[in-house]
Amino acid sequence: MQTTTLEPGNPRQHEEIAQRAAQVLRAGGLVAFPTETVYGVAASALSEEGVRRLRQFKQSDESRAFTVHIHDPKDIHRFAELTDGAARRLAMKAMPGPITLLVQVKPDVIQRCLAGLGLPPEHENRIYHHGVVGLRCPDHPLGRAVLSAGGGAVIASSANLPGERPPVDAQQAADAVKGQVELVVDGGHCQYAKPSTIVKITTEAAGEVGREEKSGGGGGVQSWAVQREGVYDMRYITKLTRYNLLMVCTGNTCRSPMAQGIARQLLAEHLGVDLEGLDREGIVVGSAGAYASAGVPATPQAVQAVAAKGVDISGHQSTALTRELVDSADVIYCMTAGHRQAVLELVPTAADKTHRVNPDADISDPIGAGEQVYRETAEAIRQSLARRLEELPL
């Protein structure tokens, strides 16, 4: 078998190359293609011949399922359900990227997914191994173009024989496949040149690694655990599973502390946990002032205004807004347009995640006003947050 190597001269050729690769896959052939980690060798899970040849190349038996490679994280639902908040956040933040998710899938979901792909139940082991599917969405434009054109279900493994090092450029890939594939797509040298990080998501306890989650949809308790560190280490994966909200006002003694306390209460109610449970759910709510001094307590009026609604901010100490706080936040809610501008002057790239808490109007500063104004301000913040929190991918 003769291997043909295609080299992209410019991004406009991506589609032409991708269509050529798709033709090979549909015909039951194999394609070596680039990712940001290592080169992979792909087959169509819908092709009996393609699956047979991929197993032959990797010297694996029929019980092995290969990792499903998708071009868009939105395609995860075609193969598995991520009912857990931490798992959804991990997929949302890490994909496309150098991560492989091993997801435990319920039998009824497997059958529904197979039917959607047009695969009979007896071919389950092309995609699932003992109820687990591997999912990978590479962060490589040409590699993703190949996967997009491939359609259906593209399964792949690293383009090396067992015991050999995975190839990290097209020449190494061509040498590794030794003419056993129809096509090698040249996407240059791999960005990371090391394997992806593998994270397993199950319905069992995570033990000392990872964390337990209450999943939605009656799915019980899910957990995640890093099975293999690759490009990302355990610390970074933990960071990706969390969701950070930041409330911003001027001095961080009135509006943003009230917003922080109210948001924690609303989120706890939404997730069905107590306030301490928010941390277990990976939800962090903070606040800061665009022009704040550190260590100043919340005003007595602010404390009293939210205490009437069961929110305790009596221990609050003010924090100054910093680049680090902005960078670590997933979403930032500002009390006024001026506060939003202050955030963007600090970090211009934060525009897409920084909003006025009330998109239609500023939340005015109650400082120096009476208790009634504070109560009205707290209620305005509550109503705005209740609408905003419905938009969050929790």
Q: What are phi and psi of 304, to 5 degrees?
A: -70, -40
pLDDT tens digits for the chain (394 residues)?
556 777 777 767 888 899 999 999 999 999 999 999 999 999 999 999 999 999 999 998 877 889 999 999 999 999 999 888 888 889 989 999 999 999 999 999 999 999 999 999 999 999 999 999 999 999 999 999 999 998 889 999 999 998 899 999 999 999 999 889 999 999 999 999 999 999 999 865 434 344 433 434 344 456 889 999 999 999 999 989 899 999 999 999 999 999 999 999 999 998 888 888 888 888 999 999 999 999 999 999 999 999 999 999 999 999 999 999 999 999 999 999 999 999 999 999 999 999 999 999 999 999 888 899 999 999 999 999 999 988 887 7
49 and 93 share a domain?
A: yes
Boundary-marking domain end, from 238, 254, 282: 238
Which percentage of the chain shows pLDDT scores above 90? Answer: 77
- Is residue 55 domain-resident? yes
**Bridge-based pairing state of the strands 99-104 and 67-69:** unpaired
Give pLDDT, residue 214.
40
Q: Would you state the structure tokens that stand for residue 372, as one six-digit string?
A: 């009634």
Q: What CATH code is carried by the domain that includes residue 336?
A: 3.40.50.2300
211 and 293 share a domain?
A: no
Sole residue written with tokens 């690769």: 21
193 and 278 share a domain?
A: no
251 and 223 share a domain?
A: no
Domain count, the chain: 2
Give pLDDT, residue 211.
41
Residue-by-residue DSSP string for 40-91: EEEEETT-HHHHHHHHHHHT--TT--PEEE-SSGGGGGGT----SHHHHHHH
177 and 295 share a domain?
A: no
Cα separation, 117 vs 186, in Å, equals 29
Amino acid code (one letter) for 227: Q
DSSP state of 122: G
28 and 174 share a domain?
A: yes
Secondary structure class of 382 (helix, strand, coil): helix
Question: Are the C-beta atoms of residues 363 and 244 closer than 8 Å to each other?
Answer: no
Give pLDDT, residue 191.
96
166 and 261 share a domain?
A: no
Sole residue written with tokens 């359900």: 81
Query: Cα 236 vs. chain centroid, distance in angstroms?
Result: 12
Question: Are the C-beta atoms of residues 29 and 181 closer than 8 Å to each other?
Answer: yes
169 and 220 share a domain?
A: yes
DSSP state of 164: S
Cα separation, 196 vs 329, in Å, equals 25
Q: Would you state the structure tokens that stand for residue 85, as one six-digit string?
A: 């908040």
Boundary-marking domain end, from 191, 216, 238: 238
278 and 217 share a domain?
A: no
Sole residue written with tokens 């003419």: 179
Calculate the dihedral angle through the C-alpha atoms of 135, 113, 125, 88, rounding to the nearest 10 degrees.
Answer: 30
Give pLDDT, residue 219.
47
Give pLDDT, residue 104.
94
46 and 169 share a domain?
A: yes
Cα separation, 295 vs 323, in Å, equals 18
Put simply, whether the predicted model's pTM sits higher than 0.85 gets the answer: no
Phi-psi region of 202 (alpha: psi -120 to 50; beta: other; left: phi over 0): beta
Give pLDDT, residue 223.
83
Question: Are the C-beta atoms of residues 197 and 232 closer than 8 Å to each other?
Answer: yes
Nearest to 80 by CA among 52, 58, 100: 100
Cα separation, 369 vs 362, in Å, equals 17
- Is residue 349 domain-resident? yes
- Is residue 103 domain-resident? yes
Its domain, for residue 253, covers: 242-389
Boundary-marking domain end, from 182, 209, 238: 238
Q: What CATH code is carried by the domain that includes residue 178?
A: 3.90.870.10
> Active-site positions?
249, 255, 365
- Is residue 394 domain-resident? no
197 and 109 share a domain?
A: yes
In sequence order, what are the residues at sequence separation of 6 or more whose Cβ sits closer than 8 angstroms to the Cβ of residue 208? Answer: none
Cα separation, 177 vs 58, in Å, equals 10
65 and 201 share a domain?
A: yes
